[in-house]
Structure 1
Amino acid sequence: MEKEICTISIANNWLDDAYTFYEDHKIKRTYDNNSLSSDKTEWLEPKQISKQNKDKLIKNCPEEFKETVMLILDYP
């Protein structure tokens, strides 16, 4: 497994929605569909993430990782 860069949460209300970025440019999303269906995991390509969610990720990204995460997300 490649080294983790950081995990960024863009959760809303009671549902978790976190993205973990890795040095090999892989992106893992862990999220809850609803209160009964939690901790789902999927591996994403940057093109599968909406512009709205990319905006949230960059906004919530720790400053020291922002440049790297923007590169992985191909943002903007």
Structure 2
Amino acid sequence: MEKEICKVSISTSFLGDEYTFYENDKIKRVYDNNSLSSDVTEWLEAKQISKQNKDKIIRKCPEEFKERIMLILDYP
């Protein structure tokens, strides 16, 4: 497994939604569909993440990782 850069949570008050970014530009998302379907894991490419979620990720990203995460997400 590649080395992790950081995790960014864009969870709502009810459902979890966390993105983990890796040095090989891979993105893992762990989220809850609903209260009965939690911790669903999927591997994503940047183009599969909505502009709205990219905005949220960048806003919540730790400052020291922001530039690297923006490159991975091809943001803006």
2:68 maps to 1:68: yes
Give the C-alpha shift of residue 64 in structure 1.
0.2
> Alignment identity in percent?
76
Map of 2:3 onto structure 1: 3
Q: Which runs of 5+ in 2 are unaligned?
A: none
Residue matched to 2:15: 15
**Runs of 4+ off more than 4 Å:** none
CA distance in 1 between counterparts of 2:14 and 2:52 reads 19
The number of equivalent residue pairs is 76
The Cα of 1:63 is off from its aligned counterpart by: 0.1
Matched to 2:42, the amino acid is E
Distance 1:70 1:54 in 2: 9
CA distance in 2, matches of 1:13, 1:2: 30
State the 1:14 CA deviation.
1.3
Q: SS state of the match for residue 25, structure 1?
A: coil
The answer for the alignment partner of 1:32 in structure 2 is 32
State the shift of 1:55 in Å: 0.1
How does the TM-score come out when normalised to structure 2? 0.99
- Consecutive unaligned residues of structure 1, counting only runs of 5 or more, are none
* Cα deviation code 1:33-55 (max 9, x no counterpart): 00010000000000000000000
